[in-house]
Chains A and B, each alone.
Chain A
């Protein structure tokens, strides 16, 4: 864990002004009260490009307090450039403590993954969301998709899934796989692999979703049912590569495939770098243990 620092005096703590934080907190409260409903909010320009996590950053900025410990991951990893960039931003403007350990974090901002280590009560996970509207690809109009949500008119989505099965024998969604939250709203879980979907169901942690460019916030309160859409005869299946991690040997984690030469050589590694590192520290070894990919960056 990095120690707390003094925030940059040129900016308000957490970058956003207090009025903006209040506005976002009000949107968050509404989102928590109506699980899965997309609350419009007056998203601000952030000093990061739209599509790079501005929604997640605004939510994080609005919930972060001095006692918090922040973890930021992108593709499951703490050391990807955008995760590093966002973590540095919050260190600079809020002085908050940061960590790479899932268990130590009180707020986790993520892009495209849910950590392997189960989340606990009193943890908040903030998802960066590029496209909050699960119906967008079926119906591009906001006016129409909002009406469909209001009336729970989800026939179009079920037809899409049915057509997938009729054509391909299975549902051909592999990430951003739509879920039904609290038995009411269909929700986009952000582009996490469908492998992660079950982790959202009945989680003791608070799950917040921020879409900056699309100006929407939504939430899943703790202990809420989150069901991946499926059919009785075609039940949902959380797929992963049928391999184990070549660094730590994990058989049940989500894996990234890494091309290691130009002759078709591949290795598989845990996408969750903290999970993989902890397993290696505990003595677990994979087929290629000690590979360069396992080396930590030395500052």
Chain B
């Protein structure tokens, strides 16, 4: 019976206690240490940091443990914490051209300055369950290269731009970028707002939207120009100093998709760029983001915007999993007041329909 939702404070307290017990699991198994989550479930930590838009590995690990491994719930925990933090400034733009790469691949050139760097990837693994890991087997250290990587790793897009084949990005007009955590959404959305929303958007949603553009719902002809993952330096110019200081390094994944553009009345045929950047190692997300970013440019490029992935409102209003998870699950809250009014209405409508039918039958009989 739905009145079970009444029950108040005691029931809530008991539920919380039960949850804590379930979360901890069997007491005879040691509790997970945050270092274990950070060190051995690193990609989960990365996803939580990306969707929470807060770069803090330890807090993300804490959120994962607290959420029993539910990554969407963990991202929510971290977001709710993030909103309480004071803002003391905005960093300078990251310079990903000087990233200390761990991985860098291009699908458009066989070789290129800086080379292809495979790094740690699941791409060419056979997806066979490795039963040697079942017993917690230790792994031998990976071999190290004899020479360091090239310091210069120019972006593929800059090579194309050098030839004039890549559509240049809009020049900096000096306006502050939108901050989607501080400004209410406006449509059509500014590119800065789009990229922010996609960067923290749900990986599954962004991936599916990107996928849809490849399957005919978006007319994309993308090439993975470049995907790179590595460390970049975050710099800040404190007002009182007036020059940049280094705050530290963060790991990011960047994807530049190269897309065909047939040109318009005012522009020659050229390539266009879809851009993806996420915290941590998240190539699936970064690639999906780059596809959707390009699809959302349709209107600006004079292309017909008819597919879901090209629709600013559709994509940006639905990509956030903290929002969608909350609203879908709010259906669990009691709705008996509105349901009661629907009950009354449907009974009245049925009674009236019944009357009309009876009337018709009477008339037919006469």
Query: Do A and B form a real pair?
Result: yes
Minimum C-beta distance from A118 to chain B (A): 19
Minimum C-beta distance from A293 to chain B (A): 7
Q: Which residue of B lies closest to A193 (CB)?
A: B341
Q: Which residue of A lies closest to B86 (CB)?
A: A17
Enumerate A94-128 residues with CB–CB distance to B below 8 Å: 111-113
A43 proximity list for chain B (CB < 8 A): 184
Q: By the criterion CB–CB under 8 Å, are A175 and B327 in contact?
A: no
B185 proximity list for chain A (CB < 8 A): 40, 142, 215
Q: By the criterion CB–CB under 8 Å, are B79 and A80 in contact?
A: no
Please judge, given known A-B contacts A143-B313, A299-B9, whether A255 and B340 are in contact too, CB under 8 Å: yes
Q: By the criterion CB–CB under 8 Å, are B338 and A112 in contact?
A: yes
**Segment touching A, from B110-118, B129-137, B277-285, B342-350:** B342-350
Q: By the criterion CB–CB under 8 Å, are A47 and B80 in contact?
A: yes
Please judge, given known A-B contacts A45-B80, A74-B333, A175-B338, whether A80 and B5 are in contact too, CB under 8 Å: yes
Binary per-residue interface labels of chain A (58-79) against chain B in the complex, 1 for a CB within 8 Å, 0 otherwise: 0000000000000000111101
Q: By the criterion CB–CB under 8 Å, are B327 and A51 in contact?
A: yes
Main secondary structure of the interface of B (DSSP, over half): helix
**Segment touching B, from A81-89, A219-227, A279-287:** A81-89
Binary per-residue interface labels of chain A (4-30) against chain B in the complex, 1 for a CB within 8 Å, 0 otherwise: 000000011001010000000000000
Binary per-residue interface labels of chain A (241-280) against chain B in the complex, 1 for a CB within 8 Å, 0 otherwise: 1000000000000111111000000000001000000000
Q: By the criterion CB–CB under 8 Å, are A257 and B343 in contact?
A: yes
Q: Which residue of B lies closest to A15 (CB)?
A: B84
A158 within 8 A of B: no
A42 within 8 A of B: yes
Main secondary structure of the interface of A (DSSP, over half): loop
Q: By the criterion CB–CB under 8 Å, are B340 and A241 in contact?
A: yes
A113 proximity list for chain B (CB < 8 A): 337
Q: How far is the CA of A75 from the CA of B338 in the complex (A)?
A: 9
Q: By the criterion CB–CB under 8 Å, are A84 and B8 in contact?
A: yes
A50 within 8 A of B: yes
Q: By the criterion CB–CB under 8 Å, are A41 and B9 in contact?
A: no
Task: Report which B residues bind A (CB closer than 8 A).
Answer: 1, 3, 5-12, 76, 79-80, 82-84, 86, 181-188, 313, 317, 322-323, 325-330, 333-338, 340-345, 348-349, 352
Further contacts, 9 of them, CB under 8 A, given A15-B84, A143-B188: A43-B184, A50-B325, A141-B187, A172-B349, A176-B338, A192-B337, A239-B344, A239-B348, A241-B340
Task: Report which A residues bind B (CB closer than 8 A).
Answer: 11-12, 15, 17, 40-47, 49-52, 54, 74-77, 79-82, 84-85, 88, 111-113, 130, 140-143, 168-170, 172, 174-176, 191-195, 213, 215-216, 239-241, 254-259, 271, 293, 297, 299
